[in-house]
Structure 1
Amino acid sequence: MKSSDSKTVVFVTGAFVTNSGWDQWKTYFESKGYKTHAPAWPYKDGTPAELRNRQPNDIQLAELTLEEVIDSYADFIKKLPEKPIIIGHSLGGLMTQVLINRGLGVAGVAIHSVPPQGVFPYEFSFLKAGWKALGLFTSLKKTYLMSLSDWQYAFTNGMSLEDQKKSYEENTIPESKTVARGGLTSAAKVDFAKPHVPLLLTSGDKDNIIPAHLNNRNFKAYKNSGSVLEYKEFPGRNHFVLGQSTWKEDADYILEWLDRN
């Protein structure tokens, strides 16, 4: 094993969903000898049903910022006995890139990552899938909950209606519009020229909200740092990649990549 021989993994959750989406990944990585953590965001430590019952008047969550979420992960990591491997999905992928940029991990994996500041997401499907979360012309004192139809387009396109509904009930939770807007601020800034530990970016060719070519531009934004950097596009993956039937293939690729680096 490489990746500095760390046996600790911190999974970083994205927006709109519960951290329990990492449960099968945690179990699988633990079966390979890793100690895993998937901490909830501030004010999201509850079941999806409990959190949805607070919608839309969860003021604490509504006022949460992206910077505060990133700092909560940074604080969690700093209390661990060793630097971890950091693996994040979607907005959690962006946070992974930021945390790696801060030197807090021994390796990073950004799965279908929201792009950092400076990588402009001009794709129509990204705008269609994500604009409602910004809450333009709505109160920032109220949280946003993705509808089933939006979930079907942004996360689970191509899946059966039964699986779309099941995944919606099990995963979707209210979100802070302020966090969503944080992707447009300096909180989402990465120094692409700074040397870093091994970093893998993955994408899926069926992802609507974070299209593969957007992930590829994210990858190409890293300049001549001389650091280990890899990009991998998987066929058939939508944005619900963590819960698709192919999730173990993705996990195996990541584990093998960690062994190589």
Structure 2
Amino acid sequence: MSISKLELVYRLARQEDAVPVLFVHGIFCGAWVWEEHFLDWFAQRGYHAYAVSLRGHGRSSAPDPLGQYTLNDYVQDLKDAIQTIESTHKQPPLLVGHSMGGMVVQRFLSRHEARGAVLASSIPPQGMMPLSWQSFWQDPLTTMEMTQTYLMPELATTEQLRRYLFAGPVDQDKLERWLERLVPESQRLLWDMSWHNLPNPFEVSRTPIAVTGALHDRLVPRVIVTMTAATYGCQPHWIDSGHGFMLDSNWKDAAQVISGALTEVLLAEQEKAAAYA
């Protein structure tokens, strides 16, 4: 069911017929993570740049007082955002899903074909289980600490935020500001993303897909990104950053990598259209 208020922040390109792109955030966050740097950067380079806050995040409605939303709830929000953009610009947007947002995008693409999508440091189509086991095997203490943070984000510290998300230096005042904007995440979502409501890779593959990962990511490591890319038959693009690449100190380099991935799916879309012409 659609919510009463869905936050869409945007920066428009100068060209009216520019290609729109919709950025989808990960857990705890909102559209604000993209608004910090990415929306202006992409609008200046010829995209109508949008970011959505899923229900219970940012300034979007929070209809459940306990915040127990399902993956399908978030898919509905993404669908509504896409329809708004498409009605505004008379063309569908490209999609960029980060982390949990990548899973939302994949689940949406299991039901609806889209123009193109970039999965950025995304939860893999196989769900949270291989990610959890890989993380635990690689660094069990950090994995347990991150699990506690997921369940009780109010106990998170700026130092944890720095370690989990960033590879470069981050100003303390920025960490404090971002920490204040984090919101608790749905525990029902964990069930959906673990095994209950996973995407169908065959259906997702109807849409041109590109995959990016971060070389210093402590949440979605390189082996998981490589697995996602292999599932969709592509080679991953790498960002020299941490998981929170859109806020990291070298965010411009990350934006360049995402831009290249968007160009890749646009070309694939054109080739697909030519094949059916």
Q: TM class by shorter-chain length?
A: 0.7 to 0.9
Gaps of 5+ in 1: 136-142, 224-228
Q: Is the 8 A contact 2:167 2:248 kept in 1?
A: no
**Change in 2 beyond 3 A, CA 1:212/1:26:** same
How far did residue 157 of structure 1 move? 5.3
2:186 pairs with 160, 164, 176, which one? 176
Equivalence map 1:244-255=2 (5 Å) = 244-255=248-259
State how far apart, in whole Å, the 2-side matches of 1:38 and 1:75 are.
12
CA contact (8 A) 2:119 2:210 kept: yes
Which aligned pairs between 1:37-186 and structure 2 lie closer than 5 A?
37-46=50-59, 59-79=64-84, 80-81=86-87, 82-117=91-126, 120-121=130-131, 122-123=133-134, 124=136, 125=139, 127-128=143-144, 130-132=146-148, 135=151, 144-145=153-154, 147-148=156-157, 149-156=159-166, 159-160=169-170, 162=172, 165-166=175-176, 168-169=178-179, 171-186=181-196
Q: What's 1:196 paired with?
A: 206
Aligned to 1:205: 215
Matched, 1:238 2:242: yes
Paired residue type of 1:77: I
Which fold has the larger relative contact order, with Cα–Cα distance below 8 Å and residues 6 or more apart in sequence? 1
Cα distance in 2 for partners of 1:219, 1:61 equals 35
TM-score, length basis structure 2: 0.72
Distance in 1, matches of 2:145 and 2:221, equals: 11
Letter in 2 for 1:65: T
RMSD (Å), alpha carbons = 3.1
Q: Is the 8 A contact 1:11 1:88 kept in 2?
A: yes
Secondary structure of the residue aligned to 2:96 is: strand
Please give the per-residue CA displacement for 1:26-82, whole angstroms capped at 9, x wherever unaligned. 1111112222221211122339xxx9xx9xxx9535221222112211232134232
Structure 2 match to 1:258:
262
The percent identity for this pair of structures is 21
What is the count of residue pairs matched by the alignment? 236
Kept after mapping to 2: 8 A contact 1:98/1:188: yes
Structure 1 consecutive aligned stretches of length 4 or more whose deviation exceeds 6 Å: none
* Residue 129 of structure 1, CA deviation: 5.5
Q: Secondary structure at the match of 1:255?
A: helix
Tell me, yes or no, if the aligned pair for 2:161 and 2:175 is still in contact at 8 Å: no
Match of 2:49 among 16, 24, 36: 36
SS at match of 1:233: strand
Cα separation, partners in 2 of 1:74 and 1:193, compared to 1, 3 Å = closer
What amino acid is aligned across from residue 231 of structure 1 in structure 2? P
Between the aligned partners of 2:177 and 2:217, the Cα distance in structure 1 is: 16
Within 2, Cα distance between the matches of 1:192 and 1:132? 34
Aligned residue type for 1:189: P
Once the two structures are TM-superposed, the CA of residue 160 in structure 1 deviates from its matched residue by 4.8
1:201 touches 1:232 (CA, 8 Å); kept in 2?
Answer: yes
Contact 2:192–2:198 (Cα < 8 Å) also in 1 = yes
Q: Which amino acid aligns with 2:107?
A: V
Deviates more, 1:123-132 or 1:181-190: 123-132
Matched, 1:15 2:11: no
Which of the two has greater helix per residue?
2
Letter matched to residue 256 of structure 1: G
Which ranges in structure 2 are unaligned for 5 or more consecutive residues? 1-16, 268-277
